[in-house]
Chains A and B, each alone.
Chain A
Amino acid sequence: MTDIEDKLRDTLHADADHVVAPADLPERAVARAGRIRRRRRASVAAAGAAVAVLAVVATVPVLRPPPPAPPAHTAPAIGTEPDTLHFDVDARAMGGSVQYVASGPGFESILVYRKGRRGNPVPVVRVYLATSAEAMTKARGDGMGVPAEFWKTEPGTTQVVTVAGRSGEIERQIQQPGRSSQWLIRWEPMPGVLGVLVSADDDRAAAIAAVDAVLLDRTRPCLLQFRFTELPPSWKQTSCYFVFLSGPRKNPATTAEWQDGSATLRVRAGVKLGYTVTKPDMKVEGAAGQWRQRDKTGIGMLSVPDIRGGHLSIDGVTRPITAELARNLVYAEDWNDPETWPR
């Protein structure tokens, strides 16, 4: 080992040995994987059919209770209105709070989380309703947590069970023998609707009881902090993702209560998205924005930093559409108050 090699090794260790990984790095990576997956799907959709999938993730410091709703429809309404879920859950009875709702073609889902020891969200119960097996697969591919395909049914645990007065099937799932497990229930909550409930707790009775906390006579809105008064021709909102956070992040300066969860339309506050707007070339609500082309297809990204404390990105769009979207964008007065969000 030469002197220069010693100096090199010494410098590298002095620079890096103190680096500590954030405790929630695995969770963040999984969440980002979900975004990548959704972005890929949306890119395909945008390029092929010119259909926009709008999705947003937002954070609300205090979750307000959903408004009362009329009784459930007699015909399956699941997945028919992107801004409305046709069921709700009693999250408290499940042992957590709602942190994720999603609605897409033929499916709706509500995920209940509790706060972990390090303040990180820990899944408790996930409820998916869909009108077809295909839609159910889409619903469960939400990128949240370990993908469904990684879980295997533990042999000998599948049983017929009565849940909420209806016949269903329950099974214990594992990733690896001796590793973490979960209980999964399949049932038909109403005629023509498939239901899947996944309980992260290794407690069969708790999983069955959680089905009772699925409220089929309620609805839940999937509002966003903004909406488009008009969308480009042939575009329509087909789905909605809406995420609540469990609490403040480690670094208050970042106010990273926003999380994104969308491939094509994302909202964040004070969080770098891996790029920087350096030469604004358009105005959106008086704020500087920039359209950034990302590849040779002409599909790019509208980036609008610092709008009312938020950071809006619209991904997978072309420049002319960007300008049209920017003109038709309506913002909420207070991004932290769902009561002010445009309906």
Chain B
Amino acid sequence: MQAMTAEDAPPATFEEYAAARGAALLRFATLLTGDPHRAEDLVQDALAKAYLRWEQIRRRDQPDVYVRRILANASHSWWRRRSSHEMPTAAHPDGPGSRDPADGVAERDIMRRLIARLPQRQRVVLVLRYYEDLDDRTIASILGCREGTVRTHAMRGLQTLRDRYPTIDGSDLP
């Protein structure tokens, strides 16, 4: 598994860190929320909080761990607030008519919806593991839990995807 860049060479200044890691953080937040606008808002907020205690974070903590922890927790709150509303998914340019399995769009569309329906913690773990390529130890430090818990979330999330994926055509999803 690859380690986080920011861990290898701690940035000297907040500006350097934000400039170097902003896009990665935004991608992470986009996957957590399924809403690019909300993601940008969350990232701004997380970076602002990091800025306020930057010296401390830089000395004692790993900035990426700190900021990703804020994002994970903030996205949790956001999803909880939206629990009675529509189920957001990542923006998708194609309509139902273009769901041709041959080009993979339909498969991704189904997968996207299944990911969105996962419990928040499982979704975060899967994003950190399969998008960020982080190892379980790092994921555990971000989420503030044990490695075993990370493995449990990952296993359950994958099992849910595996169970539902073959039998679903997307029409019965929100």
Binding site for B on A (CB under 8 A): 2, 4-5, 7-17, 19-22, 25-26, 28-30, 32-33, 35-37, 146, 150, 175-176, 179, 272, 274
Contacts and interface: CB of A to CB of B under 8 A. Distances in A.
- For A7, A13, A176, which residue has the most chain B Cβ atoms within 10 angstroms? A7
B111 to A, nearest CB: 4
Interface residues of B, number: 45
Contacts of A146: 13-15
Interface in B6-64: 12-15, 18-19, 22-23, 25-28, 30-31, 36-37, 39-41, 43-45, 47-52, 54-55
A25 B43 contact: yes
A29 B51 contact: yes
B12 A12 contact: no
A41 to B, nearest CB: 12
A10 B165 CA distance: 14
B16 to A, nearest CB: 9
26 contacts: A2-B162, A4-B161, A9-B130, A11-B111, A11-B112, A12-B126, A13-B131, A14-B108, A15-B31, A15-B108, A16-B27, A16-B31, A16-B131, A20-B26, A21-B23, A25-B43, A26-B15, A29-B18, A29-B47, A36-B48, A36-B49, A146-B15, A150-B13, A272-B41, A274-B41, A274-B45
Given A7-B107, A29-B51, 20 more contacts: A4-B158, A4-B161, A4-B162, A7-B111, A8-B111, A8-B130, A11-B108, A14-B108, A15-B112, A16-B131, A19-B26, A21-B22, A25-B19, A25-B43, A25-B44, A26-B15, A26-B18, A33-B47, A35-B48, A150-B13
A33 B52 contact: yes
8 cross-chain pairs, A with B, having the tightest CB-CB distances, nearest first:
A29-B47, A26-B18, A21-B22, A32-B48, A21-B23, A33-B48, A16-B27, A12-B131
Contacts of B22: 21-22, 25-26
B27 A25 contact: no
A12 B44 contact: no
A26 B112 contact: no
Contact of A10 (B37, B44, B104, B161): B104
B140 interface: no
A21 B48 contact: no
